[in-house]
Structure 1
Amino acid sequence: MKIQDSVVFISGANRGLGLAFAQEALKRGARKVYAGVRNPTSTNTPGIVQVELDVSDAASVAAAAAQCGDTTLLVNNAGIARLNSSVLDVPMINLSREIFETNYYGTIRLSQAFALTLANNGGGAVINVLSDATWFARPMLAAYSASKSAAWSFTNALRVELRNQNTAVLGLHVSFMDTDMTHGFDMKKTSPRQVAEAALVGLEAGKEEVLADSFTREVKQSLSTEKAIYLNPPEIA
């Protein structure tokens, strides 16, 4: 799929990776970008149309899909992360429910709502934002990791099903990015703009999976080895 002249819908597009996706899509010639946000503002950026969206609300998702019927590329970017002090903590259950509602069920809702739209517009594509946490669960991010593992599984099933309507599905895996979500974390971080660029370049090249940074590639490559990183985590990752 080519980004030139496409119409892109991005969830969670008010900042971080979502905003970077919007900017990179316009740079590559997208005709229009719908920015799905909880609270639209009066900000007027040429080429970007803010759309009210709460991915945890089925009615909100349906309304956004109805409003944006010319979409040819859906980017499921909206996501939340919450730290848990221990996987044994009782609050872990409610924390997991909250995270899954956005990161997993939100991805399903938007994919279902826009699938017919994409088909009617020639097929198009879906990009699902995943994580190195899909395969490597840090204890403090156990609930988040579980949500991304679930979203990866859904992404793989969605890819197979949507091939029948000529819709490409790309899974984007990335480790820590320099965004509000990771503010205060002292570790190597990747620029959101770099990640968005890698995803859109990969999509145009026909890739079905993009590993956006060196650590994510290292984790994925280790999965079938005896020294898989998820079994032998580094002290700092």
Structure 2
Amino acid sequence: MVMKPRDIEAFFAALQAERPAPQTELEYTSVFELLVAVLLSAQATDRSVNQATRRLFAVANTPQAILALGQQGLEAHIRTIGLYRSKARHLLQTCQRLLQQHGGQVPRDRAALQALPGVGRKTANVVLNVAFGEPTMAVDTHIFRVANRTGLAPGKTPLQVEQALLRRVPERYARDAHHWLILHGRYTCTARTPHCGRCVVRSWCEHAQAATQPKASSAARGAPLRP
């Protein structure tokens, strides 16, 4: 089932009440640092990225400084992150392109962001939302799971879920919606065992409603009664 519009309003009101000012858990102090952190976060936890970027940003937090490290120097700072070699290569290429084409600044344009090596649609959406306040939906595994499990915005692909969310999320919640959904999926609506008992949106969730329905008795299911 797909969540009804009136339930969507209540759903996001509850998430807002739980976390009035949601924020990304990636650590950064500039738009460039945010771009680096999000690029490095693919298939890695925010915690592991933060541990690496604390070391990296202490010595290099501009495109010029990261380029000066070179491949091996950069790898030494991020080797604790999965796929660090390819991420280091993409980051160096991105720094070079930022300097050559954008004056060293992170562009506020989706096409320009996605043209940067290692930057896909999800990364661009995070940067546009977090750095520039645009109401984008960066659909990661958490958002994909929550959107489908609750009936909020079902879809078979991340793009389908993203497009459904953009249509269905009320405008007043759109800017923070992706943070609420990520954090809800990370800490409450977890993959293997969702914590429905302490979920603030369980009243409007298809999965929670199904999970709490009493199981039919054998007689109710039509099973023959024993003599």
Shorter-chain TM-score category? under 0.3
TM-score norm. by structure 2 comes to: 0.28
TM-score calculated relative to the size of structure 1: 0.27
Compare the two structures and name the one with the higher strand fraction.
Answer: 1
